[in-house]
Structure 1
C-alpha cells in the first residue's frame, strides 16, 4: 500500500514538475509579438487604409513613427504590413537578412493579370524565375559593355530633346515646360533599347498614351486586393477598364514582338541587314527550367517589355525634372556644374559622352543630391518575408509585407546636415556624403533604388541617363527661373512629382 501511494506521489510530482518547467520555458522563450501599431478591426481597418494613397498616408506614418517607434504594424488586409522607418533596421532586414526579406507579397487580381501571373522581375517570387529574369536583364542589356552599344541611340534621343526644347522656347518667348519633353525623350530611348526599332512619332505617342493610362489607373485597381470576388462586381466598370487597357497593350506590343522574332530569325539564317540587339531579343531566347524548359508566352513577353518601359520612363523623367528644377532654383550650383563641364570637354565637343561623365565629380554630386532630396518613389516596392524572423525584438511573421520609407531615410537629420536643403557639396571630399554607397551594402544613408537582393536592377542605367542628360542640357542651355521662386511642392502621380511642373527660361549657350 505504501509503495502504491509512493508511486502515485512520484507520478504526480513528475507531472507537476513537467508543467512547471514547461511554463518556465514558455516564459523564458516567449514568442515575440508583432511590432506595435493601431488595433486591427476586421473589415473596418482595411477600409480605413484603402481610402488613403501612399502619398496621403505619409503624414499618418510620420505620426505613427512618433507614437510607436521606427518599426510598426498596419493592417491593410488581415495579413500584417510592417513599416520600417529607420536606416539601421532597414539594413538589418534588407541586407543582413536579405534572403529572408527578398520575397514579394501575393499579387492582387489586377497585379496577376498585368504581370502574366507574376512573370516579371518586379513581382516574381524570390526564386529561380526571378533569378533567371534578373540575370538576363543584367547580362544582356544593362551590363556596362552592353550600355556602350546604345551610345548612338542616346545621341539620337538627345538631339530630339534639344530640338523639342528649342522649338518650344521659340514659340513661348524662351520659356519651356519640360516634363512632357523629358518623358517623350526617355520613353523613346527605352523603347529603342527594348525593341531595337524606331517608330514614327504617332505610333510612339499611342503606345505611351496606353501605358500612361494604364499606370495612372493602378491606384483605382488596388480595390481588387480587398475581397476580389465582391469588389470585381461592385466596381465592375473599373474591372472592365483594366481588361480594356490590358487588351490594348497586347494589341500594340504583340505585333512588335512578332516582327522582332521574324527579323531576328532572318538575321540568324541569312545575315540580312543591320541588326541592333535589344531587350526583347534576349527574352525570345529564354527558357524556363522550372516550367519544363518552355519559352516565354507572348503575354509574358508583353509584361516584361512593359515593365522595362514603365520602370525606367517615369522614375528617370521625374528625377531629371527634380534635378533641373533645383539647378534653376540654385543658379550657383548650375554655374559650378557649367564650369566643370567647360573644364572637362571644352566648348568644341559635339556632345558630352560617357567617358567624359566619369571625370565630373560635381555632376555626380548633383545627381546624388537630387536623388537624396527628391527620390521618385518614397517607399520601396513592398517586400515579403519567407520565414518567421525577429527584428528589433519583434516578430516579423512569414508572408508579412514589408515597406521601407525611402524618402524619410534619405532625410535623416542624424546623417545629413540640413537634410531638406539642396547641397551637392555634401557628396564631395569632406562632406557627410563623401563616398556614399547608394547600394547600401555596408550601411544605408540613402536608398533611392532600394537595397539588398531586390535593389532596382536598373540603377546603373538610371544613373547613366541622368548624368548624360543633365550634363548635356546644362552644356547646351542656361536655365533660369521664369518668375519668383521655383516651387518644389510635391504631389503623387505615378511617382512623386512636382506639384507645379517646372517652367524655365532657357538661353542657348552655344552659337550653332
Structure 2
C-alpha cells in the first residue's frame, strides 16, 4: 500500500520528467547543458546577473535555461530586448505564477505581480491617475522637500559629532517616509505600529518572497514536500506575516478615515471610497480588500527599494570616483551658490552634469537587474529562435547596460559618456532599461526619479562624503560591486 501511495505521489513528477526528456520540436535558443529533473538549477549562483555576461559570450544574446521544470529564456542584448518589449510586448507582458508573488500581491490582486488582464490594467490606471500623474507629482513636492529638510538636519548632527552614518539605513528611512506619506497617507515619524528606522528590515523581508522556492519550479506536491523539508515555506510565511501586519495596519487606518476633503485623499483613500460605492454603481471590476493591500504592497516595496538602492549606489560610486564627485559638487555649488539654507526641486532645473550622473548610476546599477520576470502568453520567435507559450523571460538589464557593443569601457563610472548622447532611461532606448519598457514599464518612474534627484542634491550640496578610515582597506579588497554601509559625512 505504501509503495502504491508513493507512486501516486510521484506520478506528476515522473510524467513531467518524461515530457521534458522527449525530443523537442522547437528550435529553442542555445544554452548550457541541463541535468535531469533539476535542469540548470545547480548553476543559479553562477547565473547571477552580475556574472551573466558569460552566458551571452558563450551562447549568444538569447539563452535557454531550465530551472527545475520551468523553461526560461534570458535576453542579454539590446536587439533581443526590443523584440520582447516592443515587437512582442503584448505576447510577453504576463507574469509567471510564484508563491512569493502570490503572497505579496494578495492572490494576484495588485498591478505588478499579477498576470496581464482586466484587473492589472484597472489597477495600473488607478495608480497612474491618483498617484503618478504629473499633477500629483507636482502636488506632493512639498512632502519630498520636507523629508529632505529633516534628513539634512539629522545628518548635520552626525557631522558635528564626526560620527559615521549608516548610509543604507538612512536613505531607506528617507525614501520610506516619502513613499508612505505620498502614497499611503502614513507619517512614519508619528506612526504607532512601525518604527521609521525599520523600513530597510521590512524591505529585506520582501526580498525573501521574490526568490523562487521548490514549489515554483517542480510539480506542486513534490515541490511542496521539498519546501517543507527545507523549511523554505515556513521562512516565507514568517517574512510575509510581518509585512502583512504592517500593510493591514495601514489599511485599517484608512478604513477608519472619515475626512470629507477630497484633496486630502491619497490613493488608498480613493480605493476605499470606490469599494464602498461600487455596489451602487455596478461595473465588472470589483475592488476588494485584497486589491487594497496589493496596492499598498506595490507602492511600499516597489517605491522604497528602487529609489533607496539607487541613491546608495550613487554615493558609493561618487566616493570611489573623487574626480566625478568634485565635478558634480562644483556644478551644484557654483550654480546654486554656497549660502542656501535649503534646496528645492526648482534648483534641479539648473543642473546638467548632475542629471547625467544620475543616469550613469541607473546604467551601472539598475534597481532590478533582471527586471520583473515575464511569461509568454503565446508562441513567439526571438532573434529567430522559438519561444513557446508559458516560458519565463528574464531581461538582463544589467548585462545590456554593460554591453561593450554599445558602451565604451562599460564597467567604468563615467557620466561624461552621456554628454552628447540622446540615450535616456524612459523605455524607448533598449540599451538602457532600468525601469523596463512597454505595457509593464514601471508606472512610478517619474516619482522615483524626483525622489532620487532631490535626495542626492541635498546630500551633495550640504555635505562632503568619504569612507571611515577602517573601511578603506576593506573597500579596496571588495572591489566596485559592494556598497559600504558606513560612510563619513562632513559639513561643507
Of the three residues 420, 423, 432, the one matched with 1:436 is 423
Change (3 A) 1:351 1:204: farther
Deviations 1:339-372 (A, max 9, x none): 3223433334433222221221111101001111
Which residue of structure 2 lines up, in the alignment, with residue 134 of structure 1? 124
Q: 1:216/1:387 Cα in 2 relative to 1: closer, same or farther (>3 Å)?
A: closer
Does the 8 Å contact 1:379/1:403 carry over to 2? yes
* 2:283 is equivalent to residue 297 of structure 1: no
Please tell me whether residue 162 in structure 1 is matched to residue 152 in structure 2. Answer: yes
What corresponds to 1:114 in structure 2? 104
1:358 is paired with a residue whose SS is helix
- Pick aligned residue for 2:59 from 60, 68, 74: 68
Shift of 1:397: 0.8
Distance 1:367 1:456 in 2: 17
The CA deviation at 1:292 is 5.9
The CA deviation string for residues 78-132 of structure 1, in whole angstroms up to 9 with x for no partner, is 3421111111111122112211221112x12332233122111111212221111
Question: Any gaps of 5 or more consecutive residues in structure 2?
Answer: 1-23
2:246 and 2:427 map into 1 onto residues whose CA distance is 39
Alignment of 1:454 with 2:440, yes or no, is yes
Task: Confirm whether residue 472 of structure 1 aligns to residue 458 of structure 2.
Answer: yes
SS of the equivalent of 2:432 reads coil
Aligned counterparts of 2:247 and 2:310: Cα–Cα separation in 1: 27
2:251 alignment partner in structure 1: 257
Report deviation, 1:500: 4.9
- Give me the whole-angstrom Cα distance separating, in 2, the residues matched to 1:285 and 1:359: 41
Q: Is the 8 A contact 1:328 1:486 kept in 2?
A: no
Match of 2:170 among 176, 181, 188: 181
Cα 1:123–1:490 change in 2 (3 A) is farther
CA contact (8 A) 2:132 2:447 kept: yes
Distance 1:65 1:294, change over 3 A: closer
State the match for 1:229 in structure 2: 221
Q: Aligned-pair distance for 1:47?
A: 4.5
C-alpha RMSD over aligned residues: 3.0
Describe how 1:50-61 pairs up with structure 2 within 5 A. Answer: 52-53=44-45, 56=48, 58-59=50-51, 61=52
C-alpha distance 488-457 of structure 1, shift in aligned 2 (>3 A): farther
Which residue of the other structure, out of 332, 344, 354, is the alignment partner of 2:323? Answer: 332
> Shift of the alpha carbon at 1:506?
2.2
Matched, 1:44 2:38: yes
Alignment partner, residue 124 of structure 1: 114
Give the C-alpha shift of residue 478 in structure 1: 1.8
Shift of 1:58: 4.7
Query: TM-score, normalised on structure 1?
Result: 0.81
- Is 1:409 the counterpart of 2:400? The answer is yes
Superposition map of 1:263-342 within 5 A: 263=257, 266-268=258-260, 271=261, 276-286=264-274, 293=284, 295-342=286-333
CA distance 1:304–1:325, shift in 2 (3 Å): same
Distance 1:508 1:456, change over 3 A: same
Offset of residue 419 of structure 1: 1.3
1:499 aligns with 2:453: no
Cα 1:490–1:373 shift into 2, 3 Å: farther
Range that drifts further, 302-311 or 192-201: 192-201
Q: Which moved more, 1:296-305 or 1:119-128?
A: 296-305
1:410-433 Cα deviation digits (max 9, x unpaired): 1122222211111111112x3xxx
CA shift, 1:409, in A, is 0.8
Aligned to 1:198: 187
Contact kept in structure 2, 1:488 and 1:499, CA below 8 Å:
no
Structure 2 Cα separation of the partners of residues 228 and 400 of structure 1 = 18
In the alignment, the residues of structure 1 paired with residue 288 and residue 46 of structure 2 have an alpha-carbon distance, to the nearest angstrom, of 33
Structure 1 residue ranges without an equivalent (≥5)? 1-29, 492-496
Kept after mapping to 2: 8 A contact 1:427/1:435: yes
- Residues in 1 aligned to 2:245 and 2:330: alpha-carbon distance in whole angstroms: 49
Counterpart of 2:20 in structure 1 is none
Pick closer, same or farther for the CA change 1:473–1:208 going to 2, 3 Å.
closer
Q: Name the residue aligned to 2:234.
A: 240
Residue 386 of structure 1: how far off its partner (Å): 1.7
Contact 1:286 1:295 in 2 (8 A): no
Shift in CA distance, 152/448, structure 1 to aligned 2, threshold 3 Å: same
Match for residue 17 of structure 1? none
What SS does structure 2 have at the residue aligned with 1:243? Answer: helix
| Inter-CA distance 314–209: structure 2 relative to 1 (3 Å threshold) | closer
Change over 3 Å in CA distance of 1:437–1:160 after alignment to 2: same
In structure 1, the residue corresponding to 2:259 is in which secondary structure? helix
* 1:393 counterpart residue number: 384
TM-score by length of 2: 0.84
Deviation of residue 329 (structure 1)?
2.2
Q: Distance in 2 between matches of 1:476 and 1:340?
A: 13
Aligned partners of 1:411 and 1:419 also within 8 Å:
yes
- The question of whether the paired residues in 2 share the 8 Å contact of 1:89 and 1:392 is answered with yes
More moved, 358-367 vs 216-225: 216-225
